[in-house]
Structure 1
Amino acid sequence: MSDKKLYVTPDDVETLMFDWGCFKLTSTPEVTGAKSFSTGVVVVDPGKGHERHNHPGTEEVIYIVSGEGEQMVEDENGNPVVQKVTAGCTVYVPEGRYHYTINTGWEPMKSFVIYSPAGAEQELKELPDCRIAPPGEIPNR
């Protein structure tokens, strides 16, 4: 029997903690066995955000679950396109495009992200400000 999960809650997986918030990788090759994509839940603290970055060779979809913020995604000419995002908004980040997210609201901004193909999320663990809490442990940021 496989140790891969078909049903995953955020409590089932480790928490990647950053100065701006946290990330729970709910579907990766290691967790579910998914190979074509990976997913996760991101929480960005009020007034914070992650820096401009890109994922070469990877597309990303960001679905805003709650909260509000500012999202930047470069257009095909490399020009930054900034837009306010709120719950219910879906953001598509084409392969390799630079982007950032900032929480402009008073409450945590929660989003669900999808990377295709899987793998780009593993780079987050290598960032110097990443701290990891084991599954089930309340993150102490």
Structure 2
Amino acid sequence: MALKKEDYPISVQFDFNTGVFEPQEKSVERKVSDMVKMFHDKTAVESMIKAGDPLVYEIFYYGFKTSASDMALGTTRIQPGKVGDEYYMTKGHFHEAFDQPEIYFCVKGEGYLLMETREGEFQAEKWTPGTISHIPPMWAHRVVNTGKEPLVFVATYHLAAGHTYTEVEEKGFLKCLVEKDGKATFVLNDKRK
């Protein structure tokens, strides 16, 4: 079998401090206005949008495609901060393909990986640099930055996994992470009460 151009190995150079790698195919910014449905304090959301619509997180992405397979590499950098009392986080998603897992690797910062099944089973993993988490196919997942510096993590998954945000937008995760008395605290999501 003759190799095609896309069948040759490719490397990228990763910056552990910034979370950026080169080359990359694209990058995406998510501001507070992109996450209106995700945060529970709608008054704080509107106030922050009017005050400049700050950046919540960025994704840097490369899709490796060969004639026989595919694999995505992504890095995410979540800024420190809160909307009201709720910490900055990623939107969170299920995979469209129900048989596709994902691997996350926390390289900088601290926070939590939140996961939940459609049946309502919830799990949270504490993250510090060096934590590697396997996310099974049936779990929605979101990362929350509870620290004072950017939280950077690497993700890898098959391109065929796809992403669906609708369920998370409609009902959120069972629990939210808010700051109470200076500490990250889990509280029941208002949409689930």
When the two structures are superposed, what TM-score results if normalisation uses the length of structure 2?
0.53
For the pair shown, the structure with the greater C-alpha radius of gyration is 2
Cα distance in 1 for residues equivalent to 2:59 and 2:73: 10
Counterpart residue number, 1:53: 93
Cα distance in 1 for residues equivalent to 2:110 and 2:125: 11
Counterpart residue number, 2:23: 12
Counterpart residue number, 1:22: 58
The Cα shift of 1:33 comes to 6.9
Higher relative contact order (CA 8 A, sep 6+): 1
List runs of 5+ in structure 2 lacking aligned partners.
14-20, 32-55, 82-87, 166-193
Q: Secondary structure at the match of 2:139?
A: coil
Cα distance in 1 for residues equivalent to 2:67 and 2:61: 13
Say whether 1:42 aligns with 2:76.
yes
Matching of residues 1-141 of structure 1 within 5 Å: 2=5, 6-9=10-13, 10-13=21-24, 14-19=26-31, 20-29=56-65, 35-47=69-81, 48-57=88-97, 58-74=100-116, 78-115=120-157, 117-120=158-161
* Aligned residues between the structures: 121
> Which structure has greater helix proportion?
2
List runs of 5+ in structure 1 lacking aligned partners.
125-141
Distance 1:79 1:54, change over 3 A: same
Cα distance in 2 for residues equivalent to 1:50 and 1:82: 14
The Cα shift of 1:123 comes to 7.0
Structure 1 contact 59–94 (Cα < 8 Å) conserved: yes
RMSD across aligned positions (CA): 2.8
Structure 1 runs (4+) greater than 6 angstroms displaced = none
Structure 2 contact 103–133 (Cα < 8 Å) conserved: yes
Structure 1 contact 69–85 (Cα < 8 Å) conserved: yes
Structure 1 contact 39–112 (Cα < 8 Å) conserved: yes
- Percent identity for Structure 1 against Structure 2: 22
Worse-superposed segment, 78-87 or 34-43: 34-43
Worse-superposed segment, 15-24 or 32-41: 32-41
Distance 1:34 1:82, change over 3 A: farther
